Amino acid sequence: MASYLTRRLMLMVVTLFGISIIIFFLLRVVPGNIVDILFDSAGMVNPAEKVKIERELGLDKPIPVQYLAWIGGIAQGDLGYSYVSEKPALDEIAPRIPVTAKLALLALIFSIALGIPLGVISAVKQNSGVDYALRVLSLTGLSVPAFWLGLLILMAFVARFDTIPIYTEPTKSLWEELLLYSVPAAAVGFRSSALIMRLTRSSMLEVLRQDYIRTARAKGASAQAVNYDHALRNALLPVVTIVGIEAAFLFGGPIVTETVFNIPGVARFLVEAIRTRDYPIVQNLVMFIAIVVVVVNFLVDLTYAALDPRIKYAG
């Protein structure tokens, strides 16, 4: 097990390294750079000044040299400066992480709490009215564009409660915070819950047809015991995968939701940084999200091993 862990950790480093190369070079393929953006707000371009700023920012150096400078900086704990705000990139990124983390966590809790039980019910009562209703509900969750849902929710709030659940200023209490994040978390978690529900259902159905379940039934185990003890445990296997994927998605992906609900989290910040070609922010933020995802995947695999006796890890 220990050697397995070392191997996994090494692989994680390799993955992160690959990501750093991809995002770094991909970003530089995107036309335009920060200097173009800076001049855009001045409504003009001064070629001499442009060259000067590019030199100041080190953008005139060969791309591999820039890459090494970035990686070297990270190794020394220096993430560089935001091109736009001219403040340390770390100071810009750090305060936005807890915001998205809270949103993602709430959404994940919402989607698991809704998705797994409903998926199980749907499978156990296959082809019943309940099953059909739940399937239609889950399909709706997968079919409605997230920002459309967000906008409809906002409008409903304004019309019904005369208030709007968007972020306008830092929250003062935990309760207020929970209240504020719960609406966008539900909006974004609806899709994830639908995905989890579907996978739980199909996985559960599959497991229920397996030989050992039939054997358990034949041996006279009660339906309840079969469904919830034998079947669910095995059915959760692929669900764990999708939960991992969704966790990663929720951390890096709720862009439109953060936009509609005006939440100052990492996803919206990342999009804005891509738009302004703020390389230090994009690179470091993508690396940060990647680290989260890689760690989550690792945890998923560990859970996988714990749940599935069929998988053996070679030393």
| Contact code string over 84-103 relative to another protein, x by CB under 8 A | xxxx----x--x--------
Tell me if 45 contacts another protein by CB under 8 A: yes
Gap between the Cα atoms of 69 and 171, Å rounded: 38
Tell me if 108 contacts another protein by CB under 8 A: no
Asked if 89 contacts 279 with a C-beta cutoff of 8 angstroms, the reply is no
Reported for 200-203, long-range contacts at CB under 8 A and 24+ positions apart, including other chains, are: 200/115, 200/116, 200/118, 200/119, 200/120, 200/122, 200/123, 200/235, 200/236, 200/239, 201/119, 201/120, 201/122, 201/123, 201/134, 201/135, 201/138, 202/123, 203/235, 203/236, 203/237, 203/238, 203/239
Tell me if 79 contacts another protein by CB under 8 A: no
Tell me if 82 contacts another protein by CB under 8 A: yes
Q: For another protein, which residue of 186, 245, 302, 305 counts as binding (CB under 8 A)? A: 245
**Binding segment (CB under 8 A) for another protein, from list 67-75, 177-185, 221-229, 251-259:** 251-259
Tell me if 158 contacts another protein by CB under 8 A: yes
Residues 215-244 that bind another protein (CB under 8 A): 237-238, 241-242
**Binding segment (CB under 8 A) for another protein, from list 59-67, 173-181, 201-209, 219-227:** 201-209
Angle between helices 146-161 and 174-208 (to 10 degrees): 130
Tell me if 210 contacts another protein by CB under 8 A: yes
| Contact code string over 7-26 relative to another protein, x by CB under 8 A | ----x--xxx-xx--xx--x
Tell me if 38 contacts another protein by CB under 8 A: yes
Tell me if 54 contacts another protein by CB under 8 A: no
Minimum distance, C-beta of residue 36 to another protein, in the bound complex (Å): 5
Tell me if 58 contacts another protein by CB under 8 A: no
**Binding segment (CB under 8 A) for another protein, from list 59-67, 68-76, 114-122, 259-267:** 259-267
Asked if 196 contacts 206 with a C-beta cutoff of 8 angstroms, the reply is no
Q: For another protein, which residue of 76, 143, 173, 224 counts as binding (CB under 8 A)? A: 143
Gap between the Cα atoms of 300 and 221, Å rounded: 30
Tell me if 299 contacts another protein by CB under 8 A: no
Asked if 79 contacts 90 with a C-beta cutoff of 8 angstroms, the reply is yes
Indicate the residue among 14 and 109 with the shorter CB distance to another protein: 14
Burial degree of 99 (CB within 10 A; 0-12, 13-18, 19+)? buried
| Residue 58 Cα distances to 38, 51, 80, 83, angstroms | 16, 10, 12, 11
| Contact code string over 173-192 relative to another protein, x by CB under 8 A | --------------------
